[in-house]
Amino acid sequence: MFKIKLPTWFVLILPAILILVAVVLIPLLLSLYSSFTPYRLTRPDTLYKWIGTYNYEKAAKSWVFWSAFGRTVLLLTIALNLEMLLGLGLALLVSRVTRGQRALRTVMMFPMMFSPILVGFQFKFIFNDNVGLVNNALQSLGVTTAAIPWLVDQKLAMFSIIFAEVWTSTSVFAILILAGLFAIPKDPLEAAKVDGCTPWQTFRHITLPFLMPFIYIALAIRSLDVARAYDIVNIMTNGGPARRTELLWTLIGRTGYVDAKMGYANAMGYVSIFMAIFFTIFFFKKLSAARAELGMAG
Amino acid sequence: MDINHQHRLKTRIGAGLRHITLFIAMSIICIPGLWIVLNSFRPTVDIMAKPPVWVPRGLNLDNYRAMFGGAGEGGVPVVQYFTNSLIISVTSTVIAILIGMAGGYAFARYRFRGKSAIFIGLLLTRAVPGVALSLPLFIVMAKTGLIDTHVGLIMVYVAMNVPFTIWLIDGFFRQVPPDLAEAAEIDGCTRWQAFWKVEFPVAKSGVASAGIFAFLTSWNEYALASQLTRSTFSKTMPVGLRDFTSEFTINWGGMCALAVLMIIPALILTFLVQKHLIAGLTFGGVKG
């Protein structure tokens, strides 16, 4: 009998590492390998044929791929910025309310409980050109008589998707920023008032810098699962009509499962993985910088 | 006098504007959800009516009855889906919390080489998009026979939740001063006892909030579940929502009914532990 004495910390993080290796790392290695093969689900033997970087070159030359890529970056940029600004605004509004604040905060958390797929269906229903709430309201109010094709027209469809995305995720920002607002020490605010700062100056130079770590936490948390937007888009338009709202994720899903071209889909999947990792590292860097500024580094 | 008056007027207009904006914002937050709830009680004729029927009439439980009814009447195996969702979410949450507690404790209390690299590596696994992960997972699970089983999905959700759980719990354990446990150890506790009797009670709310997040993530997940489940044996509710769609039409009423059923547990849970949720998010992140 021999016994190896492992350090305690290693024993403690071992289960986490094991499950992540089994469920994330091994499949990712497999997909990395298969992205260098012409693997098709319908023809298993294709998994053993090495074709080098052919899939990546194909993607790099594909206009469909680049437009989906550009659209994904655009969607994320617009949605994240909007969510941040609206969340900030909402938090500032709620923080000024004296009565019923708890209730407001509860209502604010409402969208967080909705499954993304449910959000997708909900807004598919609401933006439906025939029976949707939006068109019904516009027609009843006499704004328009036509059925506005919210999910068919390219610009309107992107708008609808961004609206749905912003609807679900603004609350994450609002709640975190609100918590930040409560944690602001009162002294500098009062000092600023005594020194004759305008409300804007106070906000710009005292409140906002203090809120930055909270904003970055929200961004970091969001960046960990931005790809959840896939569920929403998948249901609302599934990249259609005619690829007008195609995002990287819907493109990957369709190539992999519908066209069964796993190798090619995995190659594109890697591009999306690197994009996600880039976003995450970017926000975590910002977060630790903001923390350090406030002396909360740990 | 005049300046005073002007100032007061300005403040009052400002307050009024603020309330109006707040009201509009809250309406936008609430109306989509309420619309779903309302439509789950309306007959299909009313949902489809042109011109629209604004004043609700003939509200009934038909959609719910149909949903729980047999397969022939447009029903879906909703009880089965609900049970699947519940088993999978609860089990994966419990496991993720146990693993996350061990991991979070290690990161908060021990020093070792490559600590931050391992930490970031763990977190990055969470950033992998579900669709991109689902392709190879599908192949692996198909080969190992884990497709369409509870175990397969539970494993996936544990892996999904562990990184974030470790992040949150690590932040909470850092707030417990190490002296506390040391004092307990001097008084004759073992490390194990010191953990459960001294450190755990202090960090309890962090564990609770991590648990809620893990539960909500598993309860609501769709991208992976839609590929890794095949039959009623393991389909979860988010996947079940798709049963109401066919090639060209969607049974909106039925779908709304299932949606309500899906939101209720999440809603109850979140209300019960709201306070932990906010505390968890902020402390875990800011001071972590």
pLDDT attached to residue A298: 39
pLDDT-derived band at B51, boundaries 50, 70, 90:
confident
**Mean pLDDT confidence for B111-129:** 84
The beta-carbon neighbor of B122 closest among A16, A214, A228 is A16
Chain B closest-CA separation from residue A2 CA (Å)? 25
Q: What confidence tier does B280 reach under pLDDT thresholds 50, 70, 90?
A: low
Helix then strand then coil, in percent of chain A rounded to 5, is 75, 0, 25
Among A116, A133, A139, the residue with its CB nearest the CB of B220 is A116
At residue A85, the pLDDT reads 93
- pLDDT at residue B88, as a whole number: 93
Residue of B nearest to A86 (CA): B25
For the stretch B203-257, pLDDT in tens is 777 788 788 888 988 998 888 888 888 888 888 888 888 888 776 777 888 888 8
Residue B282 has pLDDT above 70, yes or no: no
Six token digits for residue B77: 């195996």
Partners of residue B250 in chain A, C-beta under 8 Å: 121, 124-125
Q: Tell me what the mean pLDDT of segment B91-108 comes to.
A: 92
Q: What is the C-alpha separation between A244 and B74, in angstroms, rounded? A: 33
B20 has a pLDDT exceeding 50: yes
CA distance A187 to A199: 15
Do A93 and B139 lie within an 8 Å CB cutoff?
no
The pLDDT of residue A297: 42
Q: What are the structural domains of chain A?
A: 31-115+154-293 (1.10.3720.10)
Give the pLDDT confidence score for residue B72 in this predicted structure.
54
Q: Which residues of B touch A215 (CB under 8 A)?
A: none
- The CA distance from A174 to B196, in Å, is 35
pLDDT in tens, chain A (298 residues): 456 777 888 888 889 999 998 888 888 888 888 888 888 877 777 777 788 788 888 888 888 888 888 888 888 889 989 999 999 999 998 888 878 887 888 888 888 888 888 888 888 888 888 778 888 888 888 777 777 788 888 888 889 999 999 998 898 888 888 888 887 788 888 888 888 888 888 888 888 888 888 888 788 778 777 777 888 888 888 777 777 788 888 888 888 888 888 888 888 888 888 888 888 888 888 877 777 776 554 3
CB contact under 8 A, B130 and A228: yes
B30 vs A89, A110, A123: nearest CB: A110
Q: pTM (2 decimals)?
A: 0.85
Q: Looking at chain B, which residues constitute the CATH 1.10.3720.10 domain(s)?
A: 77-286
Q: Which CATH class is domain B77-286?
A: mainly alpha
How confident is residue B73, by pLDDT bands cut at 50, 70 and 90? Answer: low
pLDDT of the residue at B139: 84
Please report residues of A whose CB lies closer than 8 A to that of B223: 227-228, 230-231, 234
Summarised one tens digit per residue, pLDDT across range B263-277 is 888 888 877 777 666
B162 to A108: CB separation less than 8 angstroms, yes or no: no
| pLDDT for the residue numbered A296 | 52
For residue B245, report the phi and psi dihedrals to the nearest 5 degrees.
-105, 140
Percent of chain B with pLDDT over 70: 92
Tabulate helix, strand, coil % of chain B (nearest 5): 80, 0, 20
Q: How confident is the model at residue B100 (pLDDT cuts 50, 70, 90)?
A: very high
Average pLDDT over residues B19-47: 86
Say yes or no to pLDDT of B286 above 60. no
Please tell me which residue, B170 or A87, carries the higher pLDDT value. Answer: A87
CB proximity under 8 Å: B 105-144 to A: 105-107, 109-110, 112, 118, 120, 122-137, 139-140
**Helix ranges restricted to H, B41-114:** 44-48, 62-68, 78-109
Residue with tokens 């889906």: B81
Q: Flag if B238 and A118 touch (Cβ within 8 Å).
A: yes
pLDDT averaged over chain B?
82
> A97 contacts in B (CB within 8 Å)?
22
Express each pLDDT in B185-195 by its tens digit: 888 888 888 88
Name every residue whose Cβ is closer than 8 Å to that of residue B222 and which is 6 or more positions away in sequence: A115, A116, A117, A231, B238, B239
How far off is chain A from B134, nearest CA to CA, in Å? 9
Burial of A23-55, coded b for 16+ CB within 10 Å and e otherwise, reads bbeebbebbeebbbbbbbbeeeebbeeeeeebb
Q: Note whether A202 contacts B: Cβ–Cβ < 8 A.
A: no
A132 touches chain B (CB under 8 A): no
Q: Is the ipTM of this complex over 0.90?
A: no
